[in-house]
């Protein structure tokens, strides 16, 4: 099992949180997504490391961006 943490920029409300949860949750191998709206921290639990490229793609698909 793998746990990775990223910071997402641009979330402002619960709708943003659910958009991120849905998009990142649909990345193959991801089993859980925890989003903290206040800090922008997104914690991803997966069977194996997802990697920042796949996470970035999902986050941008939802309309947000990753802090570098
Ligand atoms: Cu929002």
pLDDT tens-digit map of 9-65: 999 999 999 999 999 999 999 999 999 999 999 999 999 999 999 999 999 999 999
Question: Within the chain, what is the greatest distance between any pair of CA atoms?
Answer: 30
Q: How far is the CA of 20 from the centre of ligand 1 (A)?
A: 10
Length of the chain: 68
Q: How far is the CA of 19 from the centre of ligand 1 (A)?
A: 8
* pTM as predicted: 0.94
Q: How far is the CA of 25 from the centre of ligand 1 (A)?
A: 17
d(CA 15, CA 62): 11
Distances (CA, A) of 45 to 9, 12, 13, 24: 20, 23, 22, 10
Q: How far is the CA of 47 from the centre of ligand 1 (A)?
A: 29
d(CA 1, CA 16): 26
Question: In degrees rounded to 5, what are phi and psi of residue 60?
Answer: -70, -35
Q: How far is the CA of 15 from the centre of ligand 1 (A)?
A: 4
């Amino acid at each position: 099992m793998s746990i990775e943490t990223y910071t997402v920029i641009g979330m402002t409300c619960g709708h943003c949180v659910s958009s991120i949860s849905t998009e990142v949750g649909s990345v193959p191998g991801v089993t859980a997504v925890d989003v903290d709206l206040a800090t922008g921290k997104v914690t991803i639990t997966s069977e194996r490391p997802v990697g920042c490229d796949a996470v970035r793609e999902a986050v941008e698909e939802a309309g947000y961006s990753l802090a570098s």
